[in-house]
């Protein structure tokens, strides 16, 4: 992986005062074009997100979901939960991780485009439409692009499985030029006929036929019923900022819970490269993760936001952290991969977006002749009848996506998010403490060593993974505290791919995307 010294941050020096970050530079460019012609942050992220659905097919795509958090220049915020629901005919038995039987939920990314653009037009005087915002994505699908390091890594990582996935073999490459002409035709149909073409038009009929041919339980009725949920964000004070996150069924409440616990800790007392700093972060993560099993679709009677963010509860969790001693940690974990995009426009309006197929490469199922790789988000459901997250027809699963915004003095200050499933709230807590407590700039904060608690794709142990650049002294001190340590490569793909835009109180903007990604920040 590249180091911070070699990570390219693409920028220009015009004075408009806008910015965009994405994990692939071609997606950043697509969004920057919109900002340059006067489009707003939402419109820029629709264009960038569509381009990313093409250039990062292993992490996100039209067969997946999206969670948005947007705020205007006054800090008025809204979330858009583009989360597909479970099939009306839920099969019995265990839920497989891959294949047609894992395609248990519909895909809501495309519908979320329609909903956020309606908000853009009504609230932000936006005028852009899908007919132009998808131009770059269509061109990239048809003309091709150089396979990214991230795609190459995850293609090689799944090399022993790819040939068994329906329609997958030969479509996605591990090197060279990647073209997706079938996906280009699908995007063109959406551009010409609108987002609901994906759910109720001729394209929808092709999607349903392809899913049925593969053996998916999803039906035409399921697809037509797919709708983005619009909801107020949940909030948590941290120092002199107000952190915003999407509500359940996302794990945004987990990120806020971690920060609520850390708000009772004096994080500035510990240098950001010290074992004490990492220890308090990790222990706060554990305290919040102990509650995560209660998060589920609130439409089914499980709205725990006020309970989990109760000030007395957070204070008690902070008091349970023992300096110098780790809490033992054998806990369940969740897979997942996703992609973060964020933008701020010249008027100070902000948008943070995460879009995902759940696992890398999702279900592995390419739907008929559409070029769409479908997600396996249904694997996030439980089959335990006693679980709040038990699978039910029409229900949305527990969701790892949680893009974030931080307000300061009533205005947007930080726009952030990361790839990484269980690692998302962990990476965000580290970044927020570095940015808020220690005053690091986005590029420096993103270059700091990461940790990841619990199991991963390649390590089934419940260890605390630390990137090697944390240093032997810090690693040894954490081990002496009782943390079961395993080291991972510096700037490892397991450390997530985060992005941050920071708006200063004087209106200056800086931003960066992760040195672990193929992206960058474009500042206009």
Does residue 1 fall inside a structural domain?
no
Beta strands at 485-488 and 464-467: parallel, antiparallel or unpaired: parallel
Which of 53-62, 226-235, 303-312, 429-438 is least confident?
Answer: 303-312
Residues 24 and 133 in one domain: yes
Residues 371 and 453 in one domain: no
Residues 320 and 363 in one domain: no
Look up the domain containing 138 and give its range.
Answer: 19-230+336-380
Is residue 20 reached through a cis peptide bond, with omega within 30 degrees of 0 on the bond before it?
no
Q: What is the mean pLDDT of the chain?
A: 91
CATH number of the domain encompassing residue 286: 1.10.246.130
Residues 219 and 315 in one domain: no
pLDDT value, residue 477: 96
Does residue 214 fall inside a structural domain?
yes
CA distances from 71 to 79, 80, 168, 350, 405 (A): 9, 11, 38, 5, 8
pLDDT value, residue 9: 38
Measuring CA to CA, which residue among 170, 172, 178, 181 is closest to residue 142? Answer: 181
Higher pLDDT, 459 or 59: 59
Higher pLDDT, 340 or 67: 67
Residues 266 and 370 in one domain: no
Does residue 313 fall inside a structural domain?
yes
Residues 80 and 164 in one domain: yes
Residues 341 and 416 in one domain: no
Residues 288 and 172 in one domain: no
Does residue 461 fall inside a structural domain?
yes
Does residue 151 fall inside a structural domain?
yes
pLDDT value, residue 330: 64
pLDDT value, residue 331: 56
Which of 235-239, 399-403, 507-511 is least confident?
Answer: 399-403
Q: Considering 255, 338, 456, 474, which one is annotated as catalytic? A: 338
pLDDT, mean of residues 137-151: 96
Band (344; pLDDT cuts 50, 70, 90): very high
Cα–Cα distance measured from residue 518 to residue 502, given in angstroms and rounded to the nearest whole number? 20
Cα–Cα distance measured from residue 184 to residue 188, given in angstroms and rounded to the nearest whole number? 6
Does residue 387 fall inside a structural domain?
no
Band (8; pLDDT cuts 50, 70, 90): very low
Instruction: Please provide residue 437's backbone torsions phi and psi, each rounded to the nearest 5 degrees.
Output: -75, -40
Does residue 518 fall inside a structural domain?
no
Residues 102 and 83 in one domain: yes
Cα–Cα distance measured from residue 165 to residue 163, given in angstroms and rounded to the nearest whole number? 6
Taking only the tens place, the pLDDT of each residue in 212-249 is: 999 999 999 999 999 999 999 999 999 999 999 999 99
Whether the predicted model's global pTM rises above the 0.95 cut: no
pLDDT value, residue 270: 95
Angle between the 135-143 and 41-55 helix axes, to the nearest 10 degrees? 10
Measuring CA to CA, which residue among 17, 118, 69 is closest to residue 345? Answer: 17
CA distances from 334 to 152, 231, 377, 380, 401 (A): 23, 25, 11, 7, 12
pLDDT value, residue 478: 96
Tokens, residue 412: 């947007």
Residues 353 and 483 in one domain: no
Catalytic, 338? Answer yes
Measuring CA to CA, which residue among 338, 415, 425, 404 is closest to residue 150? Answer: 338
Does residue 390 fall inside a structural domain?
no
Residues 210 and 272 in one domain: no
Distance between first and last Cα of the chain: 27
Taking only the tens place, the pLDDT of each residue in 299-318 is: 987 778 889 999 999 999 99
Band (319; pLDDT cuts 50, 70, 90): very high
Q: Is the pLDDT of residue 335 over 80?
A: no
Q: Is the pLDDT of residue 2 over 50?
A: no
Cα–Cα distance measured from residue 402 to residue 404, given in angstroms and rounded to the nearest whole number? 6
Give Cβ neighbours of residue 334 (< 8 Å, ≥ 6 apart). Answer: 380, 398, 400, 421, 422
Taking only the tens place, the pLDDT of each residue in 352-399 is: 999 999 999 999 999 999 999 999 999 999 999 999 999 999 999 998
C-beta neighbour count of 161 within 10 angstroms: 12
Higher pLDDT, 9 or 346: 346
pLDDT value, residue 470: 93
Which of 10-19, 114-123, 414-423, 509-518 is least confident?
Answer: 10-19
Cα–Cα distance measured from residue 1 to residue 150, given in angstroms and rounded to the nearest whole number? 9
């Amino acid at each position: 992986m590249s180091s911070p010294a070699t990570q390219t941050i693409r920028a220009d020096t015009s004075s408009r005062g806008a910015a965009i970050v994405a994990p692939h530079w071609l997606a950043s460019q697509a969004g920057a074009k919109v900002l340059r012609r006067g489009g707003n942050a939402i419109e820029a992220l629709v264009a960038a997100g569509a381009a990313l659905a093409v250039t990062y097919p292993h992490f996100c795509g039209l067969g997946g979901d999206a969670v948005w958090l947007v705020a205007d220049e006054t800090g008025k915020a809204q979330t858009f939960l583009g989360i597909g629901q479970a099939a009306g005919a839920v099969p019995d038995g265990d839920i497989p991780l891959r294949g047609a039987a894992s395609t248990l939920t519909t895909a809501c990314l495309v519908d979320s485009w329609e909903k956020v653009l309606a908000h853009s037009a009504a609230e932000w005087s936006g005028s852009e439409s899908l007919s132009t915002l998808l131009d770059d994505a269509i061109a990239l699908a048809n003309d091709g692009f150089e396979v990214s390091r991230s795609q190459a890594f995850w293609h090689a990582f799944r090399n022993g499985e790819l040939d068994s996935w329906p329609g997958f073999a030969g479509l996605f490459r591990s090197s060279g030029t990647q073209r997706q002409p079938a996906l280009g035709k699908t995007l063109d149909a959406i551009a010409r006929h609108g987002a609901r073409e994906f759910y109720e038009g001729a394209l929808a009929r092709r999607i349903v036929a392809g899913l049925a041919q593969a053996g998916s339980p999803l039906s035409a009725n399921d697809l037509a019923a797919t709708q983005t949920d619009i909801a107020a964000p949940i909030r948590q004070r941290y120092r002199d900022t107000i952190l915003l996150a999407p509500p359940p069924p996302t794990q945004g409440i987990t990120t806020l819970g971690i920060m609520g616990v850390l708000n009772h800790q004096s994080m500035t007392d510990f240098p950001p490269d010290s074992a004490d700093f990492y220890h308090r972060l990790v222990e706060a993560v554990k305290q919040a993760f102990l509650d995560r099993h209660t998060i589920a679709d609130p439409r089914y009677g499980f709205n725990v936001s006020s309970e989990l963010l109760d000030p007395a509860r957070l204070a008690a969790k902070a008091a349970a952290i023992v300096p110098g001693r780790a809490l033992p940690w054998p806990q369940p974990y969740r897979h997942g991969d996703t992609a973060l995009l964020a933008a701020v426009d010249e008027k100070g309006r902000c948008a943070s977006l995460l879009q995902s197929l759940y696992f890398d490469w999702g279900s592995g199922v390419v739907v008929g002749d559409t070029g769409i790789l479908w997600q396996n988000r249904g694997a996030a459901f439980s089959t335990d009848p006693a679980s709040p997250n038990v699978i039910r027809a029409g229900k949305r699963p527990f969701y790892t996506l949680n893009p974030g915004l931080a307000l300061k003095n009533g205005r947007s200050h930080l726009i952030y998010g990361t790839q990484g499933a269980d690692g998302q709230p962990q990476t965000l807590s580290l970044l927020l403490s570095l940015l808020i407590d220690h005053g690091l700039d986005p590029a420096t904060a993103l270059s700091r060593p990461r940790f990841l608690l619990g199991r991963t794709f390649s390590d089934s142990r419940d260890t605390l993974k630390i990137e090697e650049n944390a240093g032997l002294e810090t690693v040894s001190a954490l081990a002496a505290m009782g943390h079961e340590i395993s080291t991972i490569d510096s700037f490892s793909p397991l450390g997530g791919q985060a992005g941050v835009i920071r708006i200063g109180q004087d209106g200056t903007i800086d931003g960066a995307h992760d040195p672990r990604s193929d992206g960058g920040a474009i500042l206009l």
